[in-house]
Structure 1
């Protein structure tokens, strides 16, 4: 089931999950990554946009207070920060430091 869709620069990133822990991230309808997770996972994928290599990171997090939270980074820049996520200094290219 689709949990959310996010549009950026004419492209759709959608997150799909199930009650059994299956997570999928799609880019313009094409499945880019999938995994199983109970409390949420981290998904990475690369695409070419306007002739440029772009790296996305999508984080899902399950919280009893907030529910499911979604965060998306594009080339280490935050596009969408979930309710219980903080901005990070580094993302895909190195160790994650939360601030």
Structure 2
């Protein structure tokens, strides 16, 4: 096994540990931050009335999760495209510089 493969395996193990650790060490339910925020506000100000309401509420929790996942996937895709594009542009510029240096010799 070469050094790169060993490094990738170690990184993969660390990622799995980072994903699993919160479920092992944190007890309790995972809820949305909107719900937790509203609970805290109502705890300190019982007369609080919600003034902003969603324009559209998904018919089920599964559809809400699906839309959240699609939103995250699209964002990840856009970020990966921008990073890849910048990397490709930098690589192309470096190749052009090398070609110019070779032609000038």
Greater strand share, structure number: 1
**TM-score higher than 0.5:** no
Greater helix share, structure number: 2
Q: TM-score range by the shorter chain?
A: under 0.3
Q: TM-score, normalised by structure 2?
A: 0.19
